[in-house]
Amino acid sequence: MQYGATTESWYVAAATHAMDPLERVERLASENAVVIFSVSTCCMCHAVKRLFCGMGVHPTVHELDMDPLGRDIERALARLLGVVPPVVPVVFIGGKLIGAMDRVMASHINGSLVPLLKEAGALWL
C-alpha cells in the first residue's frame, strides 16, 4: 500500500513535540482512537462525522480552519494522501491513516471498517 512506508516513518519519529506539520499530524492521530481532520464548513466532513456518530463512535475532530497551523497540516495531509488540497476529511483510526471519504466508505461497505474500529477500541459490541 502506498501509505505503508510513510506510516512506518511516523513510528520512528521522535516523541517530542515538533513543529513539523507531519509530525504534528502523527502526534494528533495517535492521541485518540478515531481522529478526523476536518474543516468546519465542509459538508463532506460533516457526512463523515455523522457516519461515525451513527455507528456509535466518538471521533476526535480537529477543525483545521480553527487551528493556526491548520494550513500546514492540510498540506502535510495532502502530501500524505498524494492529492492536492482540499483534502479533508481525513480519518485516522488507531493512529493509522485510513484516508479520505471514499476510502472510509469503501472500507465500511466491504466490512473492514468495523473490525478496525473494534481493534482501536472505538467500538464495543
Partner 1 sequence: MANERTLVCGVQGSFHTSTKFFDEAESDYFGELEEALIHGDPITSSHGPKKGIVETARPPTLEIFPSWPMRHQHHQHPTVEQRKSEQSVESSEESGSVKDTANTTSTGVIGGAQSQVQCRGRGATEGEAQKGLVVIMANGAPQRTGAQQPPPSAPQIQYDNSHTEKKKIIAGSTRKDGKLLDAKTLRRLAQNREAARKSRLRKKAYVQQLETSRIRLQQLEHDLQRARTQGMLLAGCGASSGEMSSGAAMFNMDYTNWLEEEGRHVSDLRAGLDAHLIDNNLSSIVDDCITHYDTLFHLKARLAQTDAFHLLTGLWTSPAERCFMWMGGFRPSDLIKIVTPHLDPLTEQQVIRLCSLQQSSQQAEEALWQGFDQLHQFLSATLSSGPLSTDVGADVSNYAGLMDIAIEKISSLENFVRQADHLRRQTLHQLREILTTRQAARCLLAIGEYYRRLRALSSVWATRPREALIGNETASPNTVTDLQAIQQSQYAHYSAF
- 85: cell is 488540497
Strand, helix or coil for residue 76: helix
Rounded Cα–Cα distance for residues 2 and 89 (Å) = 19
The nearest distance, CB 98 to partner 1, in angstroms, is 14
The nearest distance, CB 20 to partner 1, in angstroms, is 30
Q: Residue 2 or residue 110: which is nearer to partner 1 going by CB?
A: 110
Q: Residue 22 or residue 57: which is nearer to partner 1 going by CB?
A: 57
The nearest distance, CB 113 to partner 1, in angstroms, is 8
Contacts with partner 1 by CB under 8 A lie at: 41-48, 50-51, 54-55, 101-102, 105-106, 108-111, 113-114
Alpha-helix residue ranges (DSSP H) falling in the chain: 4-12, 21-31, 43-55, 70-81, 101-109, 113-120
Rounded Cα–Cα distance for residues 112 and 9 (Å) = 24
Q: Residue 5 or residue 125: which is nearer to partner 1 going by CB?
A: 125
